[in-house]
Amino acid sequence: MKKIGIIILLICSITLLVGCDKKEKTKEKKNENAVNTLAEVSSRKELEDMVGFKIPTIEGKEIINYIAIGESNKKEQARLYYQDGSEFNIKKGTIKKQEEISGIHGAEKKDTIKIEKINITIYEYEETIFGVWKDNEYAYAYLMQNTDKETLTENLEKLIKE
């Protein structure tokens, strides 16, 4: 009688473990299928319409590309490429790591500055220097290449005051 109870207990345990494993694999497959797509548009207005929020820009700097990022039916991030090679990203929602908005993995935190009561964390990676900040609704990153912190800060001030 004792042996039958142990066998039933083992069968139930194995069934439970197999069921849990299948659930985890299903979750992983769902996450693998969520692919962010890029959609290039021709104007700031078209980009704002696509992502559903206003996008600040740096006055006097020419924008050469407007990109919406997100799942095919729901764009949540906007990216602007400027003529001088700099890049601005804005994403609706919160972020846990700077990589989620900058797209750069392995950057080194260098400093924190304050502009208009906004704390901006400065990172460097190879020839790229960038600032990342967030508020209650959005996360932001402004990236420049082959420049210094002073030039980055000047551009961040123009962008934030917009």
- Give the residue numbers spanning the domain of 90: 37-161
Has residue 30 got a pLDDT over 60? no
Has residue 26 got a pLDDT over 50? no
Q: What is the tally of structural domains in the chain?
A: 2
Of the given ranges (14-18, 58-62, 69-73), which has the lowest mean pLDDT? 14-18
- Tell me the pLDDT tens digit for each residue of 2-12: 555 445 544 54
Reported as half-sphere exposure (CB side, CA atoms, 13 A), residue 85 has a value of 9
> In which band, very low, low, confident or very high, does the pLDDT at 33 lie, cut at 50, 70 and 90?
low
Task: Tell me: do 21 and 65 sit in the same domain.
Answer: no
Task: Tell me: do 24 and 42 sit in the same domain.
Answer: no
Measured between alpha carbons, how far is 97 from 99 in angstroms, rounded to an integer? 5
Phi, psi of 126 (to 5 degrees): 50, -120
Measured between alpha carbons, how far is 125 from 148 in angstroms, rounded to an integer? 12
Has residue 80 got a pLDDT over 80? yes
Task: Tell me: do 66 and 141 sit in the same domain.
Answer: yes
Task: Tell me: do 82 and 19 sit in the same domain.
Answer: no
- Tell me the pLDDT tens digit for each residue of 96-121: 888 888 989 999 999 999 999 999 99
Mean per-residue pLDDT of the chain: 83
Task: Tell me: do 135 and 72 sit in the same domain.
Answer: yes
pLDDT of residue 58: 95
Task: Tell me: do 56 and 25 sit in the same domain.
Answer: no
Task: Tell me: do 48 and 94 sit in the same domain.
Answer: yes
> In which band, very low, low, confident or very high, does the pLDDT at 1 lie, cut at 50, 70 and 90?
low
- What 3 state SS string does the chain have? CHHHHHHHHHHHHHHHHHHHHHHHHHHHHHHHHCCCEEEEECCHHHHHHHHCCCCCCCCCCCEEEEEEEEECCEEEEEEEEECCCCEEEEEECCCCCCHHHHCCCCCEEEEEEEECCEEEEEEEECCEEEEEEECCCEEEEEEEECCCHHHHHHHHHHHHHC
Task: Tell me: do 54 and 132 sit in the same domain.
Answer: yes
pTM of model > 0.85: no
